[in-house]
Structure 1
Amino acid sequence: MLHRPLSPISTDGADAETLFLGRYFARTGYAGPVAPTMAVLRAVHAAHLAAIPFEAIDVLVDSHVDIGAEAIEDKLIARGRGGYCFEQNGLFLRVLRAIGFDAEGLLGRVRWMLPESAPPSPRTHMALRVRIDGRPWLVDVGFGSAVPPAPLAMDSEAPQATAHERYRVARRGAQWSVRADIAGEWMPLYVLDDIVPPAIDYDVGNWYTATHPASHFRHLLVAARTTPQRRYALRGNRLTVRHADGTSEQRHLGADAIEDALRDLFLLPVDPRWRPAIERAATAEVAA
């Protein structure tokens, strides 16, 4: 199979998606082959997680979250920002299709940190399904600090090891249940509907996530970034670093230290307009 050249990228006769991939790869630092193979999927997935952080600061500071393709590219690539699932997986879906993967979006309900008896949550999580040689894989770059660090096979309910936690994907009727092994307990992350939703469903989910008073992003500063070696997670003023060997450390930060962490650990271009939200996060108590 032919591989597209990555660098240097010439604009002479190049199509729009080739130029888009060049900008995306420059953002993530990926410099490997470009072909719809399992090895490439794993590599671009890992590069994305390490380079583009999960964050929802725009929601916290009442900025509009536009999930159109051009707006996502401008924010996550041109401006060096991160985003949440509709932005992250929306961008990654475009990347995968440009590479040549058979990829589609799915939509589901977050169950993370909810008791099993909790009522259904809104359909506010976007993830992806990628088929390689007919085999389906769950791909997700937009689930914050518990995001699967690698594609997960959807045709097996057996535990699947990653550089961090183990995961399980199980078919339950018309849904897929995704769980992570957290300290020996299989914790639910989300359930996905086994249908490809129309675009309007993403718009509705994004509207709820960005504007509804019950959305926790409206009240809590969150950021996350995952590398093969460690996970970084900021929840309010609490910074947690979890290492691949299972060890972790945690500390609470003041406002200046939160800014430093956003810049140095989460690789974000800190905007002075964020300061009031950062100061509120520094003094607020955060639930476990």
Structure 2
Amino acid sequence: MTISAAPAVAAHLDRIGVAAGPPDVAQLDRIVRAHTATVAFENLDPFTGTDPPVDPAGVTAKLVHGRRGGWCFEHNLLLHDTLRDLGHAVTPLVARVRLGLERSAPATSRTHRLTLVTTSQGRFTVDGGFGATVPTAALRLVTGLEQPTGQAVYRYDRDAQGTWVLQRRGSSGGWTDQYAFDLLPAPDVDFRTGSWHLTHHPESGFRTGLTAALVTPRRRTTLDGTRLTVRPADGPARRRELDSPAQVRAALEDELGIDTGGVAGLERRLRAVYFS
């Protein structure tokens, strides 16, 4: 395959600064690291009452050409299709988010997208859309192996039903579940349904509050409502409360690399939720 045969792939790789090459594990890891360091996680669409795109052309137009970020359904559709078109063997998966929950807690809905990549060196998972705790590398799908990334250490566990559970080691040294999934290929309708549910359900946090994150090898930057937090890889966190819609927009643009110019109604929504 040549990049000229797939303009969407060429545009994505140009956006994240990765050159084309053979579809091996080294390329896979380069793409994941560059994507997570360049394309932010953000929920500006559901926050402002807009349905996020759920089709490849719409996602490419927004995240690549529009220089926006997005959530898991967008990030991982884009990554899935790019990896597929580069020659990787990919399988779309759907997960139940377990962040902050005990293993015994009731099941959550299947509202997180990720991708399984099968290579000659084993199976890996790719996830570009899990907010501030997104894995910034392709993770080997084996149980118990501690896998350091630039900002955290991850491992895979299996629960009593044999379900795969991604875990992240916290600052206290303990392990926290991130999400759980099986390896059955998920159809597009699961992702379309999950996107609609999180956009329109009245209790969805993606609808009621603003969140954004960008994780690079040097720092993890998060915006939670009006609180901006920057956590350098080698130093203490810095936190700042933002005092106006203009400051929030500036943080989105300057700290998280999100072009907010096309987000209709952002200032009005910020004033209604945070500055009324």
- Separation of aligned partners in 2, 1:244 and 1:132: 30
3-state DSSP of counterpart to 2:147: coil
- Separation of aligned partners in 2, 1:37 and 1:157: 24
Matched with 2:124 is: 137
Q: Tell me the TM-score normalized by structure 1.
A: 0.88
Q: CA distance change for structure 1 residues 159 and 134 in 2, over 3 Å: closer, same or farther?
A: closer
Which of the pair has the greater relative contact order for Cα pairs under 8 Å at 6+ separation?
A: 2
3-state DSSP of counterpart to 1:228: coil
- Separation of aligned partners in 2, 1:92 and 1:270: 22
Matched with 2:255 is: 265
Q: 1:79 offset after TM fit, Å? A: 1.1
Matched with 1:113 is: 100
User: Could you tell me which amino acid in structure 1 is paired with residue 270 of structure 2?
Assistant: I
Q: 1:113 offset after TM fit, Å? A: 2.5
Q: 1:191 offset after TM fit, Å? A: 0.6
Indicate conservation of the 8 Å contact 1:221/1:281, yes or no. Answer: no
User: Could you tell me which amino acid in structure 2 is paired with residue 70 of structure 1?
Assistant: A
Match of 1:229 among 218, 238, 247: 218
Q: 1:246 offset after TM fit, Å? A: 5.6
- Separation of aligned partners in 2, 1:112 and 1:279: 29
- Separation of aligned partners in 2, 1:161 and 1:111: 21
Indicate conservation of the 8 Å contact 1:28/1:47, yes or no. Answer: yes
- Separation of aligned partners in 1, 2:273 and 2:203: 18
Number of matched residues?
Answer: 271
Q: Give the percent of matched residue pairs that are identical in Structure 1 and Structure 2.
A: 32
Matched with 2:57 is: 70
What is the aligned-residue RMSD (CA, Å)?
Answer: 1.8
Question: What does the per-residue CA deviation read over 1:100-151, in whole Å, with 9 as the maximum and x for residues that have no partner?
Answer: 1111111011111234443211110001111110511111000010001111
Match of 2:148 among 161, 166, 174: 161
Matched with 2:79 is: 92
Matched with 1:11 is: none
Indicate conservation of the 8 Å contact 1:254/1:282, yes or no. Answer: no
Matched with 2:267 is: 275
Q: CA distance change for structure 1 residues 163 and 281 in 2, over 3 Å: closer, same or farther?
A: farther
Match of 1:41 among 17, 28, 52: 28
* Structure 1 gap ranges (5+): 7-13
- Separation of aligned partners in 2, 1:281 and 1:249: 24
1:211 partnered with 2:203: no
Match of 2:166 among 178, 194, 197: 178
1:198 partnered with 2:190: no
Indicate conservation of the 8 Å contact 1:237/1:283, yes or no. Answer: no
- Separation of aligned partners in 2, 1:120 and 1:72: 29
Q: CA distance change for structure 1 residues 269 and 55 in 2, over 3 Å: closer, same or farther?
A: same
- Separation of aligned partners in 2, 1:160 and 1:223: 25
Deviates more, 1:112-121 or 1:100-109: 112-121
Matched with 2:112 is: 125
3-state DSSP of counterpart to 1:81: coil
Q: Tell me the TM-score normalized by structure 2.
A: 0.92
Deviates more, 1:121-130 or 1:164-173: 164-173
Indicate conservation of the 8 Å contact 1:144/1:224, yes or no. Answer: yes
